[in-house]
Amino acid sequence: MKSSKLYKWGLAHRHPIFLVGLISFFILPELFERVFLLKFPFQIMLTILVVASVLLIQTSPKRRFLTYGLVLALLIFLFIWNLYQNSKSLEGAAYMFLFIYFSFTTFYLFKDLMRSQKITASVIMGAFAGYFMIGVIYFFVYGYLDSAYPDTISVDMTKEHGVDDMLYFSFITLTTIGYGDFSPTSPLGQKIAILQGLIGQFYIAIVMAILVGKFLSHNND
């Protein structure tokens, strides 16, 4: 009975839960490294994000077993990746698998937002998480390309770059900040970066406009 109530509570608060998972994905590594002087494994960061995303794609009982199977497979894959971190082929496959999973998750998040009749705090958090996820999804794209084809999405070649740099590059591209410290150096990388910038602007202009329209319509009623 208690587990049923907990599940219903989690389902009702799936957007805030996912947003907390996203923020943890960003904050925890630096927090552990600075406060506890411990290196927080990237695979554990991703595990937190995967677990936080479960309720977004499990809103229908028909998808429950499919969701559990998919999440379990992904968690096992992340564990194997953690054991064999020096394998480039495994790293590339992990980024591709994560890209597919979180694209799937984001689709259901957007579907949730578009179906919302009333604009609540949870929906607003979901909208913010959706914009956040564009940066995360493109981070997996850049990570895959950097792993499988280093010259495709290479950034500043005068210094070494890693996971954190790819994440940073994805979000400064999404927000069209473009400080200039990192930039794609190949035609394919440049086109992918342009596409991400366009999608980010489209999201703000269209998705947020739809939500604002629903909010105004509800208030007028």
pTM: 0.88
Pick from 109, 152, 148: which is nearest to 16 by CA?
109
How far is Cα 203 from Cα 110, in angstroms, rounded to an integer? 10
Protein fold of 2-220: Helix Hairpins (1.10.287)
DSSP annotation string for 30-57: HHIIIII-----HHHHHHHHHHHHGGGS
Please write the tens of the pLDDT for every residue from 131-147: 999 999 999 998 888 88
DSSP class of residue 182 equals S
Domain ranges for the chain, please list them: 2-220
Please write the tens of the pLDDT for every residue from 97-129: 899 989 989 998 988 888 888 888 888 899 999
Pick from 168, 191, 194: which is nearest to 181 by CA?
168
Mean pLDDT of 148-158: 64
Token output for 64: 């429950």
